[in-house]
Amino acid sequence: MYQRILLKISGEALQGTKTAGIDPAVLLRVAEEIRDVAQSPVEVGIVIGGGNISRGREALDGVEQITADHMGILGTIINALALRTVLESLGVPSRVMSAIPLPSMVETFNRDKAIRSLTKGRVVIFAGGTGNPLFTTDSAASLRAIEIGADVLLKGTNVDGVYSADPARDKTAKLYTQLTYDEALKRELRIMDISAFSQCKDAKLPIRVFNLNKHGALLRIARGEEEGTLVCQ
């Protein structure tokens, strides 16, 4: 169904049951899920968060917001380097492109080079968010997805999709299989931050929210099977 996807992974998804940092077992499992898709004809771009290292919106005492956001940006690069290392160990050609220049460690983002790498079958991991404070990695995901011409933005979460309420607190919460952008806004469903969501709506970029912890879910989506919640025009 899809030729090119953009997968958004939160930093917290990599920490597993740890309070912070990266759980090696979780990192390997996520990398294996990505490998299975990368070995298909589907081209894979990834935006990764840094919340398991440092969360900008939870600034430390005495640290101003802008500096805290810069710390979060660096956290995304740490996660990207870890993911690239494991993907390469699984035989998946990968490269990291950062929104902020760190030439001694990673490449600086270049749209044309990113697209060329994708067409050659490499997984491209976009790190550094948008490169600016006060913007979430949701915004980076919508931006990069549009820039590379992705067919869909996939948001991997810890739940099976978009619910009418928090399923951990409300056992009667309803799982939506499909929503329009306007329905999601009207029902005030927190799928992504509002600026990123509006970007996807304006670009008519479909969003699919799914459980990244379900084995094979990512590959099933890449094959065009129903999984999670689809938000579209």
- 218-231 confidence digits (pLDDT tens): 999 999 899 999 99
Q: What percent of the chain has pLDDT over 70?
A: 98
In this predicted model, what pLDDT tens digit does every residue of 141-174 receive, in sequence order?
A: 999 999 999 999 999 998 999 999 988 889 899 9
Q: Give 160-164's long-range contacts (Cβ < 8 A, gap of 24+).
A: 160/210, 160/211, 160/214, 160/228, 161/209, 161/210, 161/211, 161/228, 161/229, 162/189, 162/191, 162/209, 162/228, 162/229, 162/231, 164/189
| pLDDT value at residue 167 | 87
Domain interval for residue 29: 4-232
- pLDDT-derived band at 56, boundaries 50, 70, 90: low
Q: What is the CATH number of the domain that holds 74?
A: 3.40.1160.10
Greatest alpha-carbon pair distance for the chain in Å reads 51
Residue from 75, 192, 80 nearest 126 by CA:
80
pTM: 0.94
**Cα 175–chain centre separation:** 21
How many structural domains is the chain composed of? Answer: 1
pLDDT at 58: 65
